[in-house]
Amino acid sequence: MIHTGSISIKDYTYDLPAERIARYPLDQRDASKLLVYRHGVITQTTFSEITDYLPNRSVLVWNNTRVIQARFLFSKPTGSLIEVFLLEPHDPHDYNLAFSAPGTCVWNVIIGNRKKWKQGDLILKTQYGGVPIELVASEIQSPGGQTRVKFSWSPSNLSFAEITEIFGKTPLPPYINRAAEDYDRERYQTVYARINGSVAAPTAGLHFTPDVIEKLKARGISVEPITLHVGAGTFVPVKSETIAGHAMHAETVVITRDFIEKILETGPMEITAVGTTSVRSLESLYWLGVMFKEGIALDQEMPLIDQWYPYLEHKTCEPKDALQAVVSHMKNKGLSEIGFLTRLLIAPGYRFRIVGRLITNFHQPGSTLLLLIAAFAGKDWKKIYSYALDNNFRFLSYGDSSLLEIQENG
């Protein structure tokens, strides 16, 4: 076993001045800076030119999840403000069913200023299209310490997706340190977002524009969507001294059989992943295949890739064999797409099986996302981040971008 758990977090941090954190996006998405790291050499350009650095007829994979308006702000008669932050649906548990639910549904949530919500329901009212709308939130008892809220609304023919759009606020990350504004509904969302479910944006994709996408197509670069719903766990800092003490949150991944067969045609390690969520989805897909080959989780509706699973002793296999195991399983089950949960932790010592290039923003010090970058770029991650700091790159969700080619691979 690779002793990844003993990795000291203090070795994967850096000084990030507050003024380098982008609090607002640029007016033009693809005007952001692009750091390019290839063969150990760093250069820079603008994101609008990214197609010049990608191989013709290659495959680019992005996460088509859509950020939901996940923050509900309720006012008590006393004037106290209580926030209910959506995490994931509980009843119905399926995302599609939860968002299409009429009248009522139950979600796992985080409650801000909870001590002020002593009893009773929370209520929001508004007029929408000339019709009075009411939303009621009722906290319900749940085992295991999970906080759950039942939402009920009228008119009941509205879907919960519509309710989130009417009452919800954009869930900007805490480090942006400002209230969400109206235009964040569009800008904290990729132009290719399709599937409702995330409470944080896959921010590497925020730089893409219709013009960039047309340039990709003109170069014969195939764009393939996958779906990973980004959870609030992406904001949770690593508080332990070593990575062994950090628990990754499970996130839902959905991948089609057609896409897996596309990877088999293209070949693993020829994939450009847009964002760390795409990397974790694709690498988790490999480990799902390993599990199936080991006879694990064959009858589970939503198999789980544990954060330490890749670091145990396995009869690992070639990536194509693992992917073929997933395809065979899907054919046997009559599935056109497969859903699973991943808690995969990618840290230095991890060997990548699927992804050879990564488009990503610049991440927080001491975060699991920075550990992933360090696994991908090797020791040069420090050189990359020093260059970005020295050359006035903007950091974090609304910041600038980078294109990294894999340097060291476990």
- Phi/psi at 409 (5° precision): -130, 75
Cβ density class 166-205: b for 16+ within 10 Å, e for less: bbbbbbbbeebeeebeeebeebbbbebbebbbbbbbbbbb
Q: What is the mean pLDDT of the chain?
A: 93
Strand stretches in 94-172, DSSP E:
104-112, 122-128, 131-140, 148-154
Question: Would you give the DSSP letter of residue 143?
Answer: G
Rounded to an integer, what distance in angstroms lies between the CA atom of residue 410 and that of residue 394? 30
Length of the chain as a residue count: 410
Rounded to an integer, what distance in angstroms lies between the CA atom of residue 235 and that of residue 367? 9
Instruction: Calculate mean pLDDT across residues 311-332.
Output: 92
In the chain, % of residues over pLDDT 90 = 82
Instruction: Calculate mean pLDDT across residues 348-372.
Output: 95
In the chain, % of residues over pLDDT 70 = 97
Rounded to an integer, what distance in angstroms lies between the CA atom of residue 312 and that of residue 306? 11
* Homologous superfamily assigned to 4-66+188-405: QueA-like (3.40.1780.10)
pLDDT tens-digit readout, 17-48: 999 999 999 999 999 999 999 999 999 999 99
Task: Give pLDDT, residue 143.
Answer: 74
Task: Give pLDDT, residue 270.
Answer: 87
DSSP string, 346-408: --TT---SSEEEEEEE---TT-HHHHHHHHHHGGGHHHHHHHHHHTT--BSTTS-EEEEE---
Task: Give pLDDT, residue 350.
Answer: 93
pLDDT tens-digit readout, 142-194: 777 789 999 999 999 999 999 999 999 999 998 999 999 999 999 999 999 99
Instruction: Calculate mean pLDDT across residues 125-148.
Output: 89
Tokens found for residue 180: 């969400």
pTM, two decimals, is: 0.93
pLDDT tens-digit readout, 210-248: 999 999 999 999 999 999 999 877 666 788 888 888 889
* Domain locations in the chain as residue ranges: 4-66+188-405, 71-168
Look at residues 261, 263, 264 and name the one whose alpha carbon lies nearest to residue 272.
Answer: 263
Instruction: Calculate mean pLDDT across residues 67-89.
Output: 92
Place 1 in a pLDDT band, splitting at 50, 70 and 90. Answer: very low
Place 315 in a pLDDT band, splitting at 50, 70 and 90. Answer: confident
Look at residues 364, 305, 313, 365 and name the one whose alpha carbon lies nearest to residue 339.
Answer: 305
Rounded to an integer, what distance in angstroms lies between the CA atom of residue 46 and that of residue 54? 14
Instruction: Calculate mean pLDDT across residues 323-336.
Output: 97
Q: When comparing pLDDT for 198 and 269, which is higher?
A: 198
**409 pLDDT exceeds 70?**
no
Tokens found for residue 257: 């059989």
Instruction: Calculate mean pLDDT across residues 379-384.
Output: 96
Instruction: Calculate mean pLDDT across residues 266-291.
Output: 94
